A and B are shown apart, each in its own frame.
Chain A
């Protein structure tokens, strides 16, 4: 349903040009949840904003690539045409529910304005839809709550409202950028359950951005691992959790705290991500990779398919490297 190919986004700043997204390929099938994981600053938010065409410009710009949604390339769409896609076909949920709602407008107004903007609805019809949505996301006393202002709701309740706002025009794709990061753990679990319930009821596809692998394990169908503006490994949840091949993915998985392994420190990945002002020529992870070879620092790895759904950008998966490793033991 959504297919992103070779997406490049840059930001022009006083310090130079930041290459925040450097050739992202991904696709989302109908009714599935794709999780994008990766450490802070790797370009997850920029990728999702690019799909919505909400990159602040200037300084940001989509310099290359294609975002195909239902047969149309969103990159070349006019701003006006894009407005009819935002909120209608693709919706977005933001990280911080405390700031995502306008403090001066009632919940009802903010909930219904998308409907009024995109569909010819009567006041009655809009209200009926709003109450339905409040019910769907689990807000008690919806009739009364519609007249209230954001400051009268708790963080978890606000995130439910944000979700209701995103869903009111029945979009086909929902992009959730760290929807639970700002919430405490019990509320997080409730919101994740809400996502599952909504997906079951409406069949909406979800792109879930997070750096919490626990969240991913719970609700993702497929996982894309992002590093320094690129997707370095993508696969089904099983493939990523049980047969990770990219050293970065393995590192990520090892750095999750576990209850079953007693003692021992958390295995953090040593080093820091590369500078996106001047990303390295070769594999961006080479400098931090325990298995890095000569080729890794000079040439960017080609994509290797391990299965129809599992792709990885790593020289270790190249046939030649495998042959080499088989004949000589690694240093």
Chain B
């Protein structure tokens, strides 16, 4: 187990390095610079600024500087927001983004699984068709469209929920709903189909032949096996929620990391781009790692290390 974790850590570091390198290449190959948009077209000022932020150095030096800053967890000052370090921005934005992400994922997973189970148990009944119809809608409507529809109807027309920002539980409802619906629909459909398959297995019949109660059979025998494929796609779903959160944060003016990330790209704020990218990447890589570990815990057939034959 320990060896497996160490190996995974090494792979994670390599992955991160590749991401950093690609991001750097993309960043410097996109035309423009942090100072183009500003009216300070004074050449001397620009040169000074470039010098101040190391932008006059050859690219490989800049690259090494970034690697160094990442290794020391100090991404330096923001360019577009003077007097603020990237770490400040991350420190402010991350808790909010994390809250939005975690709540959305929790809502998606819980409601998706419950919906999937109910649909499977009421197989081919009205509830099943209703749930799966909703799921198809949920998968096919992009979250930014859902978000605007929600704002228009529930916030502007009916004034049930606040239009934007992130300051109370009521503020959270619409963005979470917009962000969670897609993943929830995917989980519901997957849970339903695997559940239906698992319910026809011999060990379920065997559990019934033991005289166990229906609930015990579903929770103890069926669900655990049915959730295996759901856990496999959790990594992808987390990635989806993450990228979805950029858009949702922007639409709902939520002051999370996504907002800084999008802004930083518009402003060519290199340190912030680097900082947020690294942060998102680390988060996603760790999540994928946790998913694998969870999978191994749920399925005893998966071994993290080879230990003799079977």
Query: Which residues in chain A, 78-131, are within 8 Å of chain B measured between CB atoms?
Result: 82-88, 91-92, 94, 96, 99-106, 113-114, 117-118
A243 CA to B207 CA, complexed, in Å: 41
- Supposing A100-B202, A100-B203, A104-B225 touch, asked if A86 and B301 sit within 8 A by C-beta, the answer is no
In the complex, chain A residues whose CB is within 8 Å of the CB of B209 = 52, 54, 86-87, 91-92, 94, 166
Q: How close is A20's CB to chain B, nearest CB, in angstroms?
A: 17
Question: Is B171 an interface residue, CB under 8 A from the partner?
Answer: no
Name the residue of chain A whose CB is nearest to the CB of B206: A100
Question: Is A218 an interface residue, CB under 8 A from the partner?
Answer: no
Q: How close is B307's CB to chain A, nearest CB, in angstroms?
A: 12
Q: How close is B304's CB to chain A, nearest CB, in angstroms?
A: 15
- Supposing A99-B203, A100-B203 touch, asked if A84 and B211 sit within 8 A by C-beta, the answer is yes
Name the residue of chain B whose CB is nearest to the CB of A88: B211
Question: Is A226 an interface residue, CB under 8 A from the partner?
Answer: no
In the complex, chain B residues whose CB is within 8 Å of the CB of A88 = 211
Other-chain residue from A86, A101, A114 in contact with B203 (beta carbon distance below 8 A)? A101
In the complex, chain B residues whose CB is within 8 Å of the CB of A166 = 209
Asked if B211 contacts A94 (CB within 8 A), the reply is no
Asked if B208 contacts A54 (CB within 8 A), the reply is yes
- Supposing A103-B300, A151-B300, A151-B310 touch, asked if A86 and B211 sit within 8 A by C-beta, the answer is yes
Asked if B206 contacts A86 (CB within 8 A), the reply is no
Asked if A87 contacts B202 (CB within 8 A), the reply is no
What is the 8 Å Cβ interface bit string for chain A, positions 131-161, against chain B (1 contact, 0 not)?
A: 0000000000000000001011000000000
Name the residue of chain A whose CB is nearest to the CB of B198: A102
Question: Is A165 an interface residue, CB under 8 A from the partner?
Answer: yes
Query: Which residues in chain B, 216-263, are within 8 Å of chain A measured between CB atoms?
Result: 216, 220-221, 224-225
In the complex, chain B residues whose CB is within 8 Å of the CB of A91 = 209
Question: Is B212 an interface residue, CB under 8 A from the partner?
Answer: yes
What's the tally of chain B residues with a CB closer than 8 Å to chain A?
22
Question: Is A162 an interface residue, CB under 8 A from the partner?
Answer: yes
Other-chain residue from A84, A104, A117, A149 in contact with B224 (beta carbon distance below 8 A)? A104
Asked if A104 contacts B298 (CB within 8 A), the reply is yes
Asked if A104 contacts B299 (CB within 8 A), the reply is yes
Asked if A105 contacts B206 (CB within 8 A), the reply is no
Asked if A113 contacts B203 (CB within 8 A), the reply is no
Q: How close is A118's CB to chain B, nearest CB, in angstroms?
A: 6
Question: Is B3 an interface residue, CB under 8 A from the partner?
Answer: no
Q: How close is B123's CB to chain A, nearest CB, in angstroms?
A: 10
Other-chain residue from A94, A103, A105 in contact with B220 (beta carbon distance below 8 A)? A105
- Supposing A100-B202, A100-B203, A105-B221 touch, asked if A83 and B298 sit within 8 A by C-beta, the answer is no
Q: How close is B190's CB to chain A, nearest CB, in angstroms?
A: 18
Which of A54, A84, A88, A102 has the most C-beta atoms of chain B within 10 angstroms of its own C-beta? A102
A149 CA to B303 CA, complexed, in Å: 12
In the complex, chain B residues whose CB is within 8 Å of the CB of A85 = 211
A91 CA to B210 CA, complexed, in Å: 7
Asked if A102 contacts B211 (CB within 8 A), the reply is no
A105 CA to B224 CA, complexed, in Å: 9
In the complex, chain B residues whose CB is within 8 Å of the CB of A96 = 202
Question: Is B213 an interface residue, CB under 8 A from the partner?
Answer: yes
Name the residue of chain A whose CB is nearest to the CB of B213: A83
Asked if B299 contacts A103 (CB within 8 A), the reply is yes
In the complex, chain B residues whose CB is within 8 Å of the CB of A104 = 224-225, 298-300
Other-chain residue from B210, B221, B298 in contact with A117 (beta carbon distance below 8 A)? B210
Asked if B225 contacts A162 (CB within 8 A), the reply is no
A88 CA to B210 CA, complexed, in Å: 8
Q: How close is B86's CB to chain A, nearest CB, in angstroms?
A: 45
Name the residue of chain B whose CB is nearest to the CB of A94: B202
Question: Is B29 an interface residue, CB under 8 A from the partner?
Answer: no
- Supposing A100-B202, A151-B300 touch, asked if A86 and B220 sit within 8 A by C-beta, the answer is no
A103 CA to B298 CA, complexed, in Å: 10
Q: How close is B227's CB to chain A, nearest CB, in angstroms?
A: 10
Asked if B210 contacts A94 (CB within 8 A), the reply is no
Other-chain residue from A94, A103, A151, A152 in contact with B206 (beta carbon distance below 8 A)? A94
Q: How close is B309's CB to chain A, nearest CB, in angstroms?
A: 11
In the complex, chain A residues whose CB is within 8 Å of the CB of B224 = 104-105
Residues of A bordering B, CB below 8 Å: 52, 54, 82-88, 91-92, 94, 96, 99-106, 113-114, 117-118, 149, 151-152, 162, 165-166
Q: Which 5 A-B pairs have the closest CB atoms?
A: A86-B211, A87-B211, A87-B210, A99-B202, A102-B203
Residues of B bordering A, CB below 8 Å: 201-203, 205-213, 216, 220-221, 224-225, 298-301, 310
14 contacts between A and B (CB under 8 A): A54-B209, A82-B211, A94-B209, A96-B202, A99-B201, A100-B203, A100-B205, A101-B206, A103-B225, A104-B224, A114-B211, A117-B211, A117-B213, A118-B211
Given contacts A99-B201, A106-B300, A113-B216, 20 further A-B contacts (CB under 8 A): A82-B211, A86-B208, A86-B211, A88-B211, A99-B203, A101-B203, A102-B203, A102-B206, A102-B221, A103-B299, A104-B298, A104-B300, A113-B220, A114-B210, A117-B210, A117-B212, A117-B213, A149-B300, A149-B301, A151-B310
